[in-house]
Amino acid sequence: MESDEELAAIPEAMIAKDESGMKFENGRCAALTGEVGKHVGCAVYLVRPHVCRTCMPGDEECKIARAEFGFPIDGLPEPEIYEA
């Protein structure tokens, strides 16, 4: 869980109105920049929430997101093991 200081560092405009997490717009996180499938980044990378820090290429969350956008999931790398 993030501390109050960490949460305060995320711009309010990118937080869901009910403060349950990041705001989603058009099926993607409000902090996601760029074009999905080409090159994306995070506008709040240095202060991104814990759930974003633990997401790794090839993990289940990655596969779910790729499938939703119609991207292949075959041949993805094995996810790195995240240790807090």
Give the torsion through C-alpha atoms of 49, 50, 51, 54, to 10 deg: 130
Please list the pLDDT of the chain residue by residue as tens digits (84 residues): 788 888 889 999 999 999 888 999 888 899 999 998 889 899 999 999 888 888 888 899 888 888 888 999 888 888 776 555
pLDDT of residue 65: 85
pLDDT of residue 45: 93
Helix or strand holding residue 33 (H, E): strand 32-35
pLDDT of residue 55: 84
Question: pTM for this one?
Answer: 0.72
Helix (H, G, I), strand (E, B) or coil at 31: coil
Q: Where are the alpha helices (DSSP H) in the chain?
A: 4-8, 50-54, 60-68
Q: How far apart are CA 50 and CA 3, in angstroms?
A: 10
